[in-house]
Structure 1
Amino acid sequence: MTYTLMNAGEQTTNNVQREVKLSYDEKSFIIGEERVFLNSASIHYFRMPSQEWREVLAKAKLAGMNCVDTYLAWNVHEPEEGKWDFSGDNDFGAFLDLCSELGLWAIVRPGPFICAEWDFGGFPYWLKTKENIRFRTDNKTYLHYVNLYFDQVVPIIRSRQIRQGGSVILVQVENEYGYLAEDAAGLSYMKALRDGLLERGIDVPLITCEGGLEGTIEGANFWSGADGHFAKLMRKQPDVPKLVTEFWTGWFEHWGAPAATQKTPDLYEKRMMEAIRAGFDGISHYMFFGGTNFGGYGGRTVGSSDIYMVTSYDYDAPLSEYARITAKYRTAKKISLFTQALAAFLLESEPIGGSEARSVEGIRLQGREWNGQKLWFAESTRQEKEMFPITLEGGRTLSVSIKPGQIMPVLDRMEIVPGMKLTCGGFLIGNDRIGDVQTVILAGEDGQRTQLVFEADQAIGFGNDLHIRHESSPDGRMLHLDIFHFQTPQRIGLKAGGQRVEVIVLNGYMSDRAWKLHRDEVRWAIGWEDIDFDADGSIKGVSGSGGGEALLLGDWGVKGGFTRDHQSNADKATKPLHTPSLPWWKRKSASLLSLGNGELLERPHGFAELQQESGYLVYSRDVESDREQESTLVFTAIQDSARLFVDGREQGMIRQVGAAHAAVQLPKGRSKLQLLVQHMGSLNFSPYLGEEKGIFGPVYGEGSAIDLRRDWVSGEDSVHLDEVHAEAFPSELSRTFELQENHGAILVGALSSGLRINGREIPLVGYQNWFAYHSVDISGYAVKGRNTIEMPVAKAPLGRLELLTYDKSTELRGWLVVPLENEAGFEENSPPAEEGPAWYRSLFDLPAVPEDTHPKLKLRMTGMSKGFIALNGRNLGRYWQIGPQEDYKVPLAWLKDTGNELILFDEEGRRPDSVRLFYDEQSDRRWETLEEA
């Protein structure tokens, strides 16, 4: 039995979608003849194997999403100039086709800039090498390559637009340009992109986000402050739909930072309700499924000098990196089903100006109304969950249970079927015709008490088999019910005239496990925890938890019942999954000292200069010292962390970038200085896109570094900028430093606009106050002897502010720079070095996986330092055991039954004795197969 996920009437029986009319007005988008509240799931096809697309998209659909939005990543499609790849995991046309098959509309965001915490904001690395190029401007060179990119990708989008029978309904122009400059400043550039899309046949509406352009619809990106964002869009474009183009469900993580799990499910619900209350007619959940930064494609962002993305892009999203359902998923499902059930009202209604409803202190009420119906948003300001009395029009008083900070919808004479209205406080998640019965599904918290008031044109029939407290009006046309949300769903039958209505009351646990499916008509299943799918999109199996039978609404054609507690069913008991074992690792030393000769360079070169997209570079140079000594090296241009070796022994790790220093112990005589540098990701969000990576500027042998965060003067006060200062400084700060003759100087760290050296202002081109990191050579402004720095400071504490000085005569020239290739030849068993970087390889087979399981595989990197992971020739990404990431995704789609090769490169050569593969905790769940009757 196939249960497709299409909406009724969306798809013909031969799987070819018919052309549908698309229009819009100030209230919403109109698809066909119907207003649509867009619940959009941000899902990036390039952050998972293509074999996982169906599962992720289907689960988005089951959560009430009716749309998917995705970026296009230029750098995965053209990793090298002129070499295009739209196959396999990069076949975004196939991804859009799958969206269409599943009945999901699509929003395509081709950029060319996408941010997305993706390397270089989606630009291919080789663009950095083009002479005089300036990114995200109307620069001639830049637009030349953008047009070549559009020539490749736009035809794929064009053929899948809704008016061509596909599902693409919106296409975005650029991305978040408003964070970079005002609309007027980017007008020429944005018009060039807009016209490039139009000229190539894009005929669906164009959108922008955070920055507008004539001929496009601007959306807002935010997590909080919905009212302010809505008001801003109303001022700019009152006559178009109002979209939350990015509603930030979680946040990205970077190496060495705390886990980004600050946005709880309860807060997620509240923020969604704020957006709905404000009047937005579409919400795109960024991210709904985050995925993984495979292949070293994680980017780097602002806020400090070295904020590099971890390999996981889980994002604390509703669907986890492993496509597992989370508490946020259940929250998203509840609210999106709520918007589906009330879509017509939400999209037609207007804000209620006056206060027609009242409550006690501790509740804020805002409302919307349409066609005699009202919806109130009751927000609690109390510290405890309470029952609040709310008095509605006509003196009707209703008690509503609300948690602290929660926004509870209050339906006020909402028409659920012609001739019958409902008043209640709670989440209506279903109002569907199933057979000849109108089925109303109401979700509440566990044990919650809810008052329902039904009013009908005719007397309401009510069979009280459940012994629910109730009261009818004398004429029988009004029925009051006082119910509780129990673990067992309650089914309440009503009848008015010839219309039958069934009310199903769910508690929080059961509403989390309620699923709305589509075949020819709507079907509901209540009691299933998760759903698995075959490749053709049919339901392969279901799983649940808790005792009892699933509640199936509609003609399912299912044999027998379905016990939700599989693990307690002795007939279903099976042994746990056997995790693949990793045999003894074979080691191969990186042998930095034995690297082959190459062309000597006057100065170090970076990754792009050497035509290398990612990976590692090794910088080598012989040095002479007339005595054993410590010297301070100064790196004038470095953009990645680096390990420093002398004669093959590590002396330290350079973490600070932009410009940096490192102390090195040199023996007497000749020694070999080497630096091992991993490409940690290019800036994905910054006014300074396109930085070179690695080490690429002069290196000096005798320098010094001064931490400039302390000993500033403001009036009579001494100020330390590594301390908290709540108040603004009354005047600019100043500080002095000494400089010797023939010495250069660099300031690096959290500089501010208005910086002056000896009274002369230092230009900081493109300065933005949210970019708390700059590196500027001040050698031309400083003088021998005492110098004065003056600088306004916007905030404190500062993470870094350093003065690096160096003797210009000590430049180290003549460098050998070579890539560190993935090592082969493990079978040679060459004698390993006792220390230093090394590769490790383990060969393993994949144990048989029972058909009634749906496992996900992880690699835990306990005990390792920093490096990368490769599986069967695929780069799984970087690792760095400084947190917060501990486990790394190993896609089963990239495994073979036998002879899998796992390779680790570790910068310190730590042994992988504690590294292990394991299945996630949900992998042992057994799935019940649905059979045809």
Structure 2
Amino acid sequence: MTYTPGNIRGQTITDHAREGTQLRYDAKSFIIGEKRVFLNIASIHYFRMPRQEWREVLVKAKLAGMNCVDTYFAWNVHEPEEGKWDFSGDNDCGAFLDLCAELGLWVIARPGPFICAEWDFGGFPYWLKNKQNIQFRTDNEPYLRYVYRYFDQIVPIIRSRQSTKDGTVILVQVENEYGYLGDDASGLSYMNGLRDGLLERGIDVPLITCEGGLEGTIEGANFWSGADSHYGKLMRKQPDVPKLVTEFWTGWFEHWGAPAATQKTHDLYEKRMMECIRAGFDGISHYMFFGGTNFDGYGGRTVGSSDIYMVTSYDYDAPLSEYGRVTAKYRMAKKVSLFTQALGQFLLESEPMDSIGARCGEGVKLQGRHWNGQKLWFAESLKQEKEVFQVTLESGRTLPVSIKPGQIVPILDRIDICPGLKLTSGGFLIGNDRIGEVQTIILAGENGQCTHIVFEADQAIHYDNESQIPPHESSPDGRTLRLDVFNFQTPQRICLKVGEQRVEVIVLNGYMSDRAWRLQGDGVRWAFGWEDMDLEADGGVRAVSGSSACEPFLVGDWGLQRGEGRDHEGRMVRSAGNAIKPLLSPSLSEWKRKILNLHSLRGGELAERPRGFAELGLEFGYLIYNNEVECDRDQENILVLSAIQDSARLFVNGREQAMIRQVGAASTVMRLQKGSNKVQLLVQHMGSLNFSPNLGEEKGIFGPVYMDGSAACLRRDWNCGNEIVHLDEVHAEPFTSTLTRNFELMENDEAILVGALSNGLRINGQEVALDGYKDWFAYHAVDISGYVVKGSNTIEMPAARTPLNRLELLTYDRSRELRGWSAVSLEDAAEFAQDSASIEAGPSWYSSMFDLPAIPENVSPKLKLRMTGLSKGYLLLNGRNLGRYWQIGPQEDYKVPMAWLKEKGNELILFDEEGRNPDSVKLFYDDQSDRRWITLNKA
């Protein structure tokens, strides 16, 4: 049945053929053309890298066995200011889709309008915050008016590139993770409207959702662990459609001041992928496969505590690094995707089964799948050490299988390799291809491991040279051959013949299987032993050789002798050895400094209270808030900021007094002198919430500011029955009763409670309304002035997760509001910059020039900037914004795209909030930049 707006409800949609590629699906998988396809999906965002890097990243995904790309479309990139659309250069998403098609990659398009993605404001343009009566991600007329205008721009780009129009877009997602917000009537109406809006604009490939279903769409699941549970949930909801992992979280994002997010190791990554395959998923989207970079100010802010701001790098600990480099996770993704290619039909046709028919000893969990007399077992070790386990299959066939702690190893049980030949083995099957006249089987294993192989054939199995065959045993009729093959550094290649069919078995150890590359064009070719590989635009293949201890080799029609290649001038060369003279890194010239003279700064329209970034028409950057305070004596004062959503530095009379990290509402000590005082707050836009029930917060400082306030930490000394508990400590056991605590207020005091609150909060017996609050948000700022009284007040709160990182009471007297504020953007403040001879210290700009040293053609360098010794600010390269920096970790180095460099006269500008000396800042190439690339063949 064809999918059109007229037959959405109550129909099973299976066929999406138009004049283009036929796309069908059933409960087992998507069917493209006439073939079931296991979707190995690489999540890659075109807007997180220069356009010049797209091909390299997409090719790397293709070489890792990915056959599909999924990408978000970022509305705020394409309409940064209202009505000003940009689909050019790095923002030419249509060209990105065309390149995917050129490389033979299917595409899942995710146009939003909300994308999350740890991207500023979840992809919404900042100026939407200023629209009257707007509410985001709901059935709200002002909001939807702009959403559909965005659809009018973005959908035609996707529509013309659908598989039904001879393009490669096979699926389009409706919104993103809406199920996390709930499914009320307004939300359902909103999602229905978005779905219909896509259909009415010509989307006719299947629609999908993730984490939240919608009639007429296929729902996927987003997760890292718990594959069986997620699969079962999808089966109960939609048993007759494919099961996709729409986001399989390969790593995690990082935020300023937190540890590096490297907790998901490559071994655990393999296990989680195998769990997805074992459960029965027919597609896995690796989010992220390549993360990229949050250039400009596009890094977002997410829920949790108050100030979880994304770092500039979106490396994500993904298979491809931020610089497009191969990692251990990349090699693991390639290994598992090759496994799904080698066993694609079986995986997509098979059904789960229990462990009847196979037995193993204690410490191994067995689960299986079967189809057409073939079986695949997943053996999971529950032990703490690597062991060799004996597994007995039907008919008493016993084979040893080596499994690391927690690892899931696939066991092939009479899998059809080619007509008349079955394979049983504990080796990891990564290749089963007909190459010329030879059926080529590639099995991988750990270094030094012994792989047990059993072939069973309809005819006698012969081998070319018995002296080259490892220890083996043949059945009396010659139709069963058992081999014990060690996984050596030098691959073992065993040549057999079954009837007229020639068979080659290539057994690899871990090192060589990590460096095995499958290339598919007119036929299948394999390359072994190369550290890295690339496909050039002219059809050529480049490679970097690996260890000199192992000679690389080729299988298939390369038109070359084994181990040979050509250098960049076309000369024949040997591929062993990859070291060259290290590249000379660019050298920065002497820094030129300009200091911001805060004391002389003037400008900006006066207002009663500070105004935020969106109110002032600013997407990102810095604001400097200014006020004048008269004092009749020297004094210390508590300054209370009732609405602040970014870190800020307090300056009084041109000198820094405090760094304010707490947001929502905050306080700081301010020291004033007798007479006139110039009070200034330097605020950097650190990213709008990208995932929250409360999207659209104003940024900067945008509420009243009060003098003579007070601040009290409320994390300690709570009453829990007869016990005193402290919420800044860990409490593993549930609290036995509601927590209570008293606090005192003076007459005329107003109050704000800010931090990790819990639903059910009560002040003096009245429940406090926490609009839009979600328990997983763990942060809120609420004005409780209407609930408090002079003197003693009681706060009650249900049990909360501990420890709390903030729970604070801010009080103030409205009569002490500090009025008369102006605000100046840092860009406008630049005219007040002076050289260091005329002013001692303060926020500063530094500029330096550098040339790009000569780069040999046979290397592929990647440049980094290390910001040692600096504080916080932003970076510009030849006028392009490289993003924010903040030297509190975990990010130390910043990407400098080679595509944005000139041979001569590159200008690097940095702004540092504290004006620290940048003499320790340096440019350098990454470790893989010195590798030599050779051309294996030319088109």
Range class of TM-score, shorter chain? over 0.9
Query: Which deviates more, 784-793 or 451-460?
Result: 784-793
CA-CA distance at 1:425 after TM superposition = 0.6
2:536 partner amino acid: D
Q: Select which of 903, 910, 932 maps to 1:904.
A: 910
2:249 alignment counterpart: 248
Matched, 1:802 2:808: yes
Q: Select which of 521, 524, 533 maps to 1:522.
A: 524
Q: Select which of 737, 742, 762 maps to 1:731.
A: 737
Q: How far apart, CA to CA, are the structure 1 residues paired with 2:127 and 2:157?
A: 24
Q: Select which of 575, 582, 588 maps to 1:582.
A: 588
Q: Select which of 508, 531, 534 maps to 1:532.
A: 534
1:403 alignment counterpart: 404
3-state SS, counterpart of residue 468 of structure 2: coil
1:507 alignment counterpart: 509
Q: Select which of 685, 696, 712 maps to 1:690.
A: 696
1:724 partner amino acid: V
1:14 alignment counterpart: none
User: Is the Cα contact below 8 Å between 2:586 and 2:852 reproduced in 1?
Assistant: yes
1:13 alignment counterpart: none
1:534 partner amino acid: E
Q: How far apart, CA to CA, are the structure 2 residues paired with 1:365 and 1:156?
A: 47
3-state SS, counterpart of residue 446 of structure 1: coil
Q: How far apart, CA to CA, are the structure 2 residues paired with 1:706 and 1:573?
A: 61
CA-CA distance at 1:834 after TM superposition = 1.6
User: Is the Cα contact below 8 Å between 1:637 and 1:696 reproduced in 2?
Assistant: yes
Change beyond 3 A, Cα 1:130–1:336: same
Q: How far apart, CA to CA, are the structure 2 residues paired with 1:669 and 1:535?
A: 70
CA-CA distance at 1:929 after TM superposition = 2.4
CA-CA distance at 1:835 after TM superposition = 1.3
2:851 partner amino acid: D
User: Is the Cα contact below 8 Å between 2:554 and 2:562 reproduced in 1?
Assistant: no
Residues 629-648 of structure 1: per-residue CA shift (max 9 Å, x gap): 10000000000000000000
Structure 1-normalised TM-score?
0.96
User: Is the Cα contact below 8 Å between 2:578 and 2:931 reproduced in 1?
Assistant: no
Matched, 1:759 2:760: no
Q: How far apart, CA to CA, are the structure 2 residues paired with 1:186 and 1:824?
A: 46
Matched, 1:475 2:481: no
3-state SS, counterpart of residue 336 of structure 2: helix
CA-CA distance at 1:43 after TM superposition = 0.3
1:311 alignment counterpart: 312
3-state SS, counterpart of residue 601 of structure 1: coil
1:416 alignment counterpart: 417
CA-CA distance at 1:594 after TM superposition = 2.4
Q: How far apart, CA to CA, are the structure 1 residues paired with 2:579 and 2:786?
A: 77
Change beyond 3 A, Cα 1:202–1:298: same
CA-CA distance at 1:729 after TM superposition = 1.1
Change beyond 3 A, Cα 1:18–1:916: farther
Q: How far apart, CA to CA, are the structure 1 residues paired with 2:553 and 2:129?
A: 58
User: Is the Cα contact below 8 Å between 2:545 and 2:552 reproduced in 1?
Assistant: no
User: Is the Cα contact below 8 Å between 1:711 and 1:719 reproduced in 2?
Assistant: yes
Q: Select which of 628, 642, 645 maps to 1:639.
A: 645
3-state SS, counterpart of residue 478 of structure 2: coil
Query: Which deviates more, 787-796 or 557-566?
Result: 557-566
Residues 700-752 of structure 1: per-residue CA shift (max 9 Å, x gap): 01100000011111111111111111111111111111111111100000011
3-state SS, counterpart of residue 589 of structure 1: strand
Q: How far apart, CA to CA, are the structure 1 residues paired with 2:836 and 2:406?
A: 64
1:547 alignment counterpart: 549
Pairing of 1:848-867 with structure 2 (within 5 A): 848-867=854-873
1:521 partner amino acid: G
CA-CA distance at 1:183 after TM superposition = 6.8
Pairing of 1:654-693 with structure 2 (within 5 A): 654-693=660-699
Query: Which deviates more, 819-828 or 59-68?
Result: 819-828
1:639 partner amino acid: Q
Q: How far apart, CA to CA, are the structure 2 residues paired with 1:871 and 1:322?
A: 17
Q: How far apart, CA to CA, are the structure 2 residues paired with 1:266 and 1:757?
A: 50
User: Is the Cα contact below 8 Å between 2:639 and 2:708 reproduced in 1?
Assistant: yes
Change beyond 3 A, Cα 1:190–1:569: closer
1:745 alignment counterpart: 751
Q: How far apart, CA to CA, are the structure 1 residues paired with 2:475 and 2:828?
A: 80
3-state SS, counterpart of residue 691 of structure 2: coil
2:664 partner amino acid: G
Q: How far apart, CA to CA, are the structure 1 residues paired with 2:389 and 2:542?
A: 45
Aligned-residue identity in percent: 75
Q: How far apart, CA to CA, are the structure 2 residues paired with 1:448 and 1:616?
A: 58
Residues 348-375 of structure 1: per-residue CA shift (max 9 Å, x gap): 0001145211000010000000000000
Q: How far apart, CA to CA, are the structure 2 residues paired with 1:271 and 1:193?
A: 33
Q: How far apart, CA to CA, are the structure 2 residues paired with 1:828 and 1:868?
A: 19
Change beyond 3 A, Cα 1:539–1:784: same
Matched, 1:94 2:100: no
User: Is the Cα contact below 8 Å between 2:553 and 2:562 reproduced in 1?
Assistant: no
Matched, 1:783 2:789: yes
1:544 partner amino acid: G
Change beyond 3 A, Cα 1:643–1:270: same
1:454 alignment counterpart: 455
Q: How far apart, CA to CA, are the structure 1 residues paired with 2:544 and 2:575?
A: 15
1:436 alignment counterpart: 437
Q: How far apart, CA to CA, are the structure 2 residues paired with 1:587 and 1:438?
A: 67
Q: How far apart, CA to CA, are the structure 2 residues paired with 1:773 and 1:572?
A: 52
2:223 partner amino acid: F
Change beyond 3 A, Cα 1:280–1:744: same
CA-CA distance at 1:673 after TM superposition = 0.3
User: Is the Cα contact below 8 Å between 2:706 and 2:817 reproduced in 1?
Assistant: yes
Matched, 1:31 2:32: yes
CA-CA distance at 1:766 after TM superposition = 1.3
2:492 alignment counterpart: 490
3-state SS, counterpart of residue 615 of structure 2: helix
Q: How far apart, CA to CA, are the structure 2 residues paired with 1:420 and 1:434?
A: 16
Count of residues in correspondence between the two structures? 917
User: Is the Cα contact below 8 Å between 1:557 and 1:932 reproduced in 2?
Assistant: no
Query: Which deviates more, 553-562 or 729-738?
Result: 553-562
1:716 alignment counterpart: 722
2:13 alignment counterpart: none
Q: Select which of 778, 782, 789 maps to 1:772.
A: 778
CA-CA distance at 1:243 after TM superposition = 0.3
Change beyond 3 A, Cα 1:887–1:262: same
Change beyond 3 A, Cα 1:183–1:515: farther
Structure 2-normalised TM-score?
0.96
1:268 alignment counterpart: 269
Change beyond 3 A, Cα 1:569–1:275: closer
Q: How far apart, CA to CA, are the structure 1 residues paired with 2:548 and 2:449?
A: 19
Q: Select which of 812, 817, 826 maps to 2:818.
A: 812
3-state SS, counterpart of residue 725 of structure 1: coil
2:740 partner amino acid: S
User: Is the Cα contact below 8 Å between 1:341 and 1:430 reproduced in 2?
Assistant: yes
2:3 alignment counterpart: none
2:176 partner amino acid: N
CA-CA distance at 1:598 after TM superposition = 2.4
Change beyond 3 A, Cα 1:44–1:822: farther
Matched, 1:700 2:702: no
Pairing of 1:332-343 with structure 2 (within 5 A): 332-343=333-344
RMSD: 1.9
Q: How far apart, CA to CA, are the structure 1 residues paired with 2:885 and 2:901?
A: 20
